[in-house]
Amino acid sequence: MDDHVLDHTIVARTHAQYVAALIADEARMSNHTFEDEESIFGSLVRHKPLASVEFQSDRNDKGAIMPPGMRQHLHYILQ
């Protein structure tokens, strides 16, 4: 990831835990059930094709320098 060092400060960890808790809370409120869990395996996002996006410039459209690790991304193609 372009030699990017992730922020491991207590503020960054607290924020990541907060976001993870929000996602878990949303999942707990869901009443969706599946009769056969194996039947949904092929429909998971991770089985969709990937596209690589690479920025040609180190600056974004506002002129700010892109952080290391943000120059290339992999995105799932959802149809």
**Which positions ≥6 away from 73 have C-beta within 8 Å?**
52, 53, 54
Residue with tokens 């974004």: 60
Whether 3 is in a domain gets the answer: no
The reported pTM is 0.40
Residue 63 is predicted with a pLDDT of: 72
Whether 63 is in a domain gets the answer: yes
Whether 4 is in a domain gets the answer: no
List beta partners, residue 9.
none
Residue 75 is predicted with a pLDDT of: 80
Whether 1 is in a domain gets the answer: no
Whether 2 is in a domain gets the answer: no
The burial of 5, by beta-carbon neighbours within 10 Å (0-12 exposed, 13-18 middle, 19 or more buried), is given as exposed
Structural domain count of the chain: 1
Whether 26 is in a domain gets the answer: yes
In the chain, which residues have pLDDT < 70? 1-4, 60, 68
Residue 21 is predicted with a pLDDT of: 94
The burial of 71, by beta-carbon neighbours within 10 Å (0-12 exposed, 13-18 middle, 19 or more buried), is given as middle
Residue 2 is predicted with a pLDDT of: 58
